[in-house]
Structure 1
Amino acid sequence: MADASSQIASTVPTSRPGRLSEFWRYFKENRGAVIGLYIFAAFVLIALGADILAPYDPTAQNRAATLVPPVWQEGGSWSFPLGTDPLGRDMLSRLLHGARYSFFVGIVVVVVASFGGILIGLVAGFAPRWLDTIIMRLMDIILAFPSLLLALVLVAILGPSLTNAMIAIALVLQPHYVRLTRASVINERTKDYVTSARVAGAGRLRLMFITVLPNCLAPIIVQAALSFSTAILDAAALGFLGMGAQPPTPEWGTMLAEAREFILRAWWVVTFPGLAILVTVLAINLMGDGLRDALDPKLKRS
Structure 2
Amino acid sequence: MDHASTDEIKSQAPARPGRLSEFWYYFRENRGAVIGLWIFAAFVIVAAGANLLAPYDPTEQFREFTLVPPFWADGGNFAFPLGTDPLGRDMLSRLLHGARYSFFVGIVVVSVAAFGGILIGLLAGFAPKWVDTIIMRIMDIILAFPSLLLALVLVAILGPSLTNAMIAIAIVLQPHYVRLTRASVMSERGKDYVTSARVVGAGLPRLMFITVLPNCLAPIIVQAALSFSTAILDAAALGFLGMGAQPPTPEWGTMLADAREFILRAWWVVTFPGLAILVTVLAINLMGDGLRDALDPKLKRS
Residue 122 of structure 1 is matched in structure 2 by 122
1:235-274 alignment to 2 at 5 Å?
Answer: 235-274=235-274
Counterpart residue number, 2:171: 171
Alignment correspondent of 1:31: 31
Q: 1:85 matched to which residue of 2?
A: 85
Q: Structure 1: state its 5+ residue gaps.
A: none
For residues 83 and 9 of structure 1, the distance between their equivalents in structure 2, rounded to whole angstroms, comes to 69
The residue number in structure 1 matching 2:99 is 99
Correspondences of 1:54-203 after superposition (within 5 Å): 54-203=54-203
Residue 52 of structure 1 aligns to which amino acid in structure 2?
L
Give the deviation of 1:14 after TM superposition: 3.3
SS in 2 for 1:79: coil
What is the alpha-carbon distance in structure 2 between the residues aligned to residue 43 and residue 221 of structure 1? 19
Q: What CA distance in whole angstroms lies between the structure 2 residues aligned with 1:191 and 1:228?
A: 32
Q: CA deviation at 1:158?
A: 0.2
- In structure 2, what is the Cα distance between the partners aligned to 1:101 and 1:9? 58
* Distance in 2 of aligned mates of 1:177 and 1:284: 18
**Which whole-Å CA distance do the structure 2 matches of 1:49 and 1:276 have between them?**
17
Structure-1 separation of matches of 2:159 and 2:127: 36
SS at match of 1:232: helix
CA distance in 2, matches of 1:34, 1:233: 21
Structure 1 residue ranges (4+ consecutive) displaced by more than 6 angstroms after TM superposition: none
Q: How far is 1:11 from its partner?
A: 4.4
Give deviations 1:216-262, integer Å, cap 9, x for gaps: 00000000000000000000000000000000000000000000000
- Work out the CA distance in 1 between the residues paired with 2:6 and 2:228: 52
Is 1:205 the counterpart of 2:202? The answer is: no
Aligned AA for 2:67? L
Report Cα offsets for 1:9-48 as digits up to 9, x if no partner: 3543333111001100000000000000000000000000
SS at match of 1:227: helix
Does the residue aligned with 2:87 lie in a helix, a strand or coil?
coil
CA distance in structure 1 between the aligned counterparts of 2:285 and 2:153, rounded to whole angstroms: 27
Distance in 1 (alpha carbons) for counterparts of 2:69 and 2:260 = 16
Is the aligned partner of 1:14 residue 2:8? no
Greater displacement, 97-106 / 14-23: 14-23
Secondary structure at the aligned position of 2:185 is classed as helix
* Cα distance in 2 between the residues matched to 1:135 and 1:183: 13
Q: State how far apart, in whole Å, the 2-side matches of 1:48 and 1:218 are.
A: 27
Q: Which amino acid aligns with 1:126?
A: F
Cα deviation code 1:50-108 (max 9, x no counterpart):
00000000000111000000001010011000000000000000000000000000000
Q: For residue 229 of structure 2, what is the amino acid of its counterpart? A: S
Equivalents in 1 of 2:84, 2:133: separation in Å? 55
Q: Distance in 2 between matches of 1:139 and 1:178?
A: 8
Query: How many residue pairs align between the two structures?
Result: 300
- The residue identity in structure 1 corresponding to 2:140 is D
SS of the residue corresponding to residue 243 of structure 2 reads coil
**Following the alignment from structure 2 to structure 1, what is the Cα–Cα distance between the partners of residues 24 and 232?**
26
Distance in 2 separating the partners of 1:7 and 1:137? 57
State the Cα deviation string for residues 241-288 of structure 1 (Å, max 9, x = none).
000000000000000000000000100000000000000000000000
How many Å separate the matches in 2 of 1:68 and 1:180? 49
SS in 1 for 2:212: helix
Structure 2 letter corresponding to 1:173: L
**CA distance in 1: counterparts of 2:255 and 2:170, whole angstroms:** 22
Measured in 1, the distance between the counterparts of 2:34 and 2:188 equals: 31
Q: Offset of 1:7 from its aligned partner? A: 9.3
1:295 aligns with 2:292: no
1:60 partner amino acid:
E
TM-score (norm 2): 0.97
C-alpha distance in 2, partners of 1:212/1:193?
9
What is aligned with 2:224?
224
